[in-house]
A and B are shown apart, each in its own frame.
Chain A
Amino acid sequence: MIKNRLKIYLVATLAMFACEPDPLPIHLELPAQQLVVSSLLIQGQGVTIALTRSFSALNSGLTTDSTLLTSLLVQEAEVLIIENRLDTFRLQQVQDGIFVSADINPVPGNVYGLIATDLQTGTRVEAESIVTEQVQFSDTKGTLIPAGDDSLVNVSYSFNPHPDEDFYMVNVQKLSVDLDQTNLGIDLDLVVPRTFTHLVTKTDSGDQEISDEFIFIVNEDFFTGDTLIVSLASIGPTYYEYLEKRNNTRFGPSFVSEPYNAPSNVENGLGFFNLHTSDNQIIIVE
């Protein structure tokens, strides 16, 4: 026993003298800010374009909040959308970084070009998008799976794919109920929304009805009778590729993932100019 104690003291003494080295500083050349494009198409309500700027990793320490994001909105820009390379629509700025045109009524199969110029910096970006066909759910269902502290929901769905479209996304997010105001609204966390995107290709099924299911991790208390919003849209191949890479890196420590710069269809900028219409459904979890 005495020998054992001696060993412990010896190891402990050596450990006390061990030091953690101070990290070394390093200076990195940071890239110039780039324009970032996001888009939203709502049938009958036109097209909305959001313009923001990228930001240095040292601005945030890799954590983001709404204050930072608000500061990135482009304050002054000219945004044009050109339909089939013929008709030009100038979007109206409704607030910092948000540009809207209700006059555009995108037609599936037509080509729409985007030209956006940041009037403060003179930066100009361009993108092109083909409007995809809208598809609709045939059926959706959510079933709660008891899972201790977490809540899991099995989401099942079916839809008929469009003959001209190969890539689809099914998105899901929790809806919350504000009991005080009895308002139903999206559980909106602007920065880290708990959404999940399930990707589908019709390669295997051809044009037959696609029926599948997946698990959505709610990550908080969730009960039978609570609600989810589920959306379905056909999307372009570049956006599909981006979402697939994003899904691949959902789990596991970052150091086992290969670094990647997300693909983009924006020339001289980042983000996506997408024109697809979603079928949104609200489901009550059983």
Chain B
Amino acid sequence: MAILLSVTRVVVAQEIRTITGRVQDAEDGSPLPFCTVKVEGTNAVARTNDDGKFTLRTPSKKVALTFFYIGYISQTLDFDLKADTVIAITLLPSVTTLDNVVVSDERFYGENQIEDIRSSTTRVEAKDVLMVPGLAGEPDLIRTMQLLPGVTKGVEGSVDFFVRGGDADQNLVLLDDAIIYNSGHLFGFMSVFNPDMLGDVQMIKGGFPAYYGGRLSSVIDIKTDGTMPEKTTFNGSVGVISSNLTIAQPLIKDKLAVKIAGRRTYIDQLLKLTGDPDLQLPYYFYDFNGRIDFKPSPRHSFYFSNYFGADILDIESDDPDDNGSSEFDIDNTNLSLGWKYLTPTNNIFSLTLTNSRFSYLVDNAFEESTLAVSNSITDYGLKARYDIFNLDVEKLSVGLDVIRHAMDPLEVDASGIVEDIFPSARSSAVTSFEGGLYADVEKKLTERLSASVGYRQSFATVDGKLYLGFEPRLLARYKLNELSSLKFNFTIISQYQHRVSSASLSLPVDLWYSVTRDIKPQRATQFGFGYVKSLGQSGLLFESEVYYKYANNIIEYQEGTNLFLNTDFEQSIIQGTAESYGWEVLLRKKGERLNGWASYTLSWANRQVDGLNGDATFPARYDRRHNVSIVANYKIFKRWEISAVWEYLSGSRFTPVVAQYAIANPLNTGVTVENIYPDRNSVALSNTHRLDLSLVKKSKPGKKLYGEWRLGVYNVYNRAAPVGIQIEQNPETGLFNYQQPGLFGMLPFISYRFKF
């Protein structure tokens, strides 16, 4: 049993002594967050944080510490506590030691969730992402999250997602604390997150701790993997769409390491090899992740993380006379520099500097004319946080964060004849500051009741105008018994940035815009009541939550607004209210052979905006009533696994043309045909369902090169997931009828993953 224990005496004896420490995976050294640490024979219990660290205080001099973590062998450690003590412990994954035997040596599955004060929060691990058969076999973090309760997808295959009735721009996506503004490659059908770089990932849909702010609906907090590798390792995959390679390299053992990952599509290169000019796809994307971790001492750790990626479409005209070309370039860059310091009093101070930049350029040329459209947003941010453990509460967190946003929303630059039709213009550049000061205190009130009370004073300044957001936060957990608990959360949150996109479709060329003197911040109030129950040794965990959310100043556009090359879009923005409520259920299963989850969401999402739909309330575009997802991975044999995803979705909402009429044109020389639409979003598209399957064959254990072949099918029974309504003519009868086309049919895939 490989237990690494180091005991360091830090402070000379006190009556109540503090034990601080860190819990890591014995195999790869990764921190184990939310690990339960219990002092046997007492009520002292602690939980590890994102870095696997914990703090406990106890008067006992003889201590038996037990560590519980799902999927790992629990360990109990006995020692004399003569002074404040720092320990480090590693836990072995249970599957490593007992193959093909259900290991249930944890006290019970789900204890973490039952103990945890937080609700509306789901952690997603890289293995969850890899387990899900993705579109074209590409594992995808966002598409995995779309299978969780409370999360609704937009257009099929797209990585846009809508949480608890909110808009796509109400999700705060953080990569190592830096904001990701465009999380999609491949025109939004693949997310920018390389699964091999994922560390701790959590999705928060409500009950936001006070250190999160800025978006109404969710926080996707993605940390890249910061574990110190013991040796040089290579990870990679070759798929239908893209291939990637990740290299982890220790530079100074346990002190300095670097990890880099690159990914690129290659269909353009493959088609080039055919030499057929008619069979070319001048599109590709690539991305790069790099991370350096430096831990000069047990108390200090630094990291530097960098992401950049681009989507490039470069079309050249075949006709040399017209000199035609069209280039479409989307760029995302993120930088983070972080420092964590474990103080002599065993509190944690962290400081992070971030930089995010998102831009796109559409550049067209034809003969003597050019038309370029560009947009960019650049952020510089600072976050400072101090987590204090040595008070009469479980934890006190205080901090501040501030971001400078520089937005160049839309610039149209034309020359030649095109300028006569699309005159060069640009929307006003906006520089704004956004941030918050916060405090969060977590306290165990009674044996069963724990609560966290927080307050965030958010602010935004733009053009001499100061907006303030008063944002109280409350989280509570009441333990019914060892196996179940009730939870409550309450949040008020503000949003100071918005994405300008049409009601029908979000595009990669949507642009971000700040609050202004006229555009007010969006604000939401949300309540949630939850229930968590572990079904003991069966490896099942049941979670259920009801929620209600009310938001005001949500963004919409005046009827008839055209956002195409519209540099004056601000004039078309109107604001209103949104109300959403629902019930979410999640049943998770962790076992030796069968792993996965089943989720169900019943939800409603409505809006009211003066000037839209005759001022009457209307359903949100992705107001899907029922969402069901079943994700399962089953180990058939030692080296063979089968994975399946089945989804059932109520149809999203649409506003089709139902009739037309003709009126005399302004010159009275003919007619103009106008469309008649029904009430906004009043038509529900057909419900849909889809099954994806994949079969995984792993290489024999013990080989230097570990490999996995994945063969699968997306949309096994080839059912359309409607994206809209169109009118088609029946070629036999000549009659017109409405149809709902889908984007992706049955799509087989194959991929190979390797590690050495």
Binding site for B on A (CB under 8 A): 4-5, 7-8, 10-11, 14, 17-28, 30-31, 34, 36-40, 50, 52-62, 64, 69, 72, 145, 147-148, 152, 154, 169, 171, 173, 186, 188-193, 195, 197, 215, 217, 229, 231, 233, 243, 245-246, 248-253, 255-262, 270-272, 278
B316 within 8 A of A: no
Majority secondary structure, A binding face: mixed
Q: Pick the contact of B564: A25, A39, A148, A251 (CB < 8 A).
A: A251
A28 to chain B: which residues have CB within 8 Å? 656, 658, 678, 683, 725, 738
0/1 per residue, B710-723, Cβ < 8 Å to A?
Answer: 00000100111110
B686 CB contacts on chain A under 8 angstroms:
24, 26
By beta carbon, the residue of chain B nearest A214 is: B420
Known contacts A21-B719, A54-B661, A55-B660; A252 and B564 CB within 8 A of each other: yes
Interface contact B715-A54, CB-CB below 8 Å = no
Select one of A40, A148, A270 contacting B661, CB under 8 A. A270
Give B676-691 as 1s and 0s: 1 = Cβ < 8 Å from A's Cβ atoms: 1110100101101000
Pick from A24, A31, A192, A249: contact of B676, CB under 8 Å = A31
Are the CB atoms of A186 and B240 closer together than 8 Å? no
Q: How far is the CA of A62 from the CA of B676 in the complex (A)?
A: 11
Nearest 7 interchain pairs by C-beta: A252-B564, A193-B670, A245-B560, A260-B560, A260-B559, A21-B720, A38-B664
- Scoring B504, B662, B741 by chain A CB atoms within 10 A of each residue's CB, the highest score goes to B662
In the complex, what residues of A have CB within 8 A of residue B683's CB? 26, 28
Q: Is the CB of B746 within 8 A of A270?
A: no
Cross-chain contact A188 with B670 (CB below 8 angstroms): yes
Q: Is B671 in contact with chain A by the CB < 8 A criterion? A: yes
Instruction: Determine whether the beta carbon of A57 is less than 8 Å from that of B659.
Output: yes
Residues 640-671 of B, flagged 1 when their CB comes within 8 A of A and 0 if not, give 00000000000000011111111111111111
Q: Complex: how many Å from CA A55 to CA B711?
A: 51
Stretch at the interface among B193-201, B266-274, B513-521: B266-274
CB distance from A259 to the nearest CB of B (A): 5
B668 near A18: Cβ-Cβ < 8 Å: no
User: Quick one: closest B residue to A148, CB to CB?
Assistant: B367
Pick from B563, B661, B662: contact of A256, CB under 8 Å: B563
In the complex, whether B19 has a CB less than 8 A from a CB of chain A is no
Given A8-B274, A10-B750, A18-B746; A34-B661 close (CB under 8 Å): yes
| A31: chain B residues within 8 A (beta carbon) | 658-659, 676, 678
Give per-residue flags for B696-735: 1 if the beta carbon is below 8 A from chain A beta carbons, else 0. Answer: 0000000000000000000100111110111111000001
The reply to whether A26 and B746 form a contact with Cβ atoms under 8 Å apart is no
Known contacts A217-B421, A255-B505, A271-B661; is-contact A24 B669 (Cβ 8 Å): no
- Give A189 to B673 CA distance when docked, in angstroms: 13
CB distance from A225 to the nearest CB of B (A): 21
Q: Is the CB of A18 within 8 A of B663?
A: no
Q: List, sorted by A's number, 28 A–B pairs whose CB atoms are closer than 8 Å.
A: A8-B273, A17-B746, A18-B748, A19-B718, A19-B747, A21-B718, A24-B722, A24-B739, A25-B740, A31-B658, A31-B678, A52-B661, A61-B736, A145-B420, A147-B417, A191-B671, A193-B670, A195-B667, A245-B560, A248-B561, A252-B565, A253-B564, A255-B505, A258-B557, A258-B561, A258-B562, A259-B655, A270-B661
Give the size range of B's interface with the partner: 35 or more
Instruction: Please tell me if B11 contacts chain A, counting CB pairs below 8 Å.
Output: no
User: What CA separation (Å) do A4 and B275 show in the bound complex?
Assistant: 13
B674-A262 in contact (CB<8A)? yes
Output the residue of B663, B675, B677, B745 with the most chain A CB within 10 A. B663
Q: Per DSSP, are chain B's interface residues mostly helix, strand or loop, or mixed?
A: loop
Q: Is A259 in contact with B559, judged by CB distance below 8 angstroms?
A: yes
Question: Which one of B417, B422, B744 contacts A21 once the chains associate, using CB atoms below 8 Å?
Answer: B744
Q: Name the residue on A nearest B721 (C-beta).
A: A21
How far apart are the CA atoms of A197 and B718 in the complex, in Å?
47
Chain A residues with Cβ below 8 Å from B720 are 21-24
A62/B725 in contact, CB under 8 A: no
A145: which B residues are within 8 A, CB to CB?
A: 417, 420
Candidate in A4, A24, A53, A191 with the most chain B CB atoms within 10 angstroms: A24
Given contacts A57-B659, A72-B662, A261-B676, contact A215 B421 (CB under 8 A): yes
Contacts of A193 in B (CB 8 A): 665, 667, 669-671
Contacts of B667 in A (CB 8 A): 171, 173, 193, 195, 229, 231, 278
Distance in Å from the Cβ of A214 to the closest Cβ of chain B?
Answer: 9
Nearest neighbor of A13 in chain B, beta-carbon distance: B748
Is the CB–CB distance between A18 and B747 below 8 Å? yes
In Å, the complex CA distance between A77 and B560 comes to: 33
**CB-defined contacts of A17 to chain B, threshold 8 Å:** 746, 748
Distance in angstroms from A10 CB to nearest chain B CB is 7
Which of B656, B672, B721 counts the most A-chain CB atoms under 10 A from its CB? B672
List which B551-579 residues lie within 8 A (CB) of chain A: 557-565
For A14, give its contact among B665, B741, B748 (CB under 8 Å).
B748
Q: Judging by beta carbons under 8 Å apart, are A248 and B562 in contact?
A: yes
Contact across chains for B420 and A23 when beta carbons are under 8 A apart? no
Given contacts A55-B660, A251-B562, whether A21 and B742 have CB atoms under 8 Å apart is yes
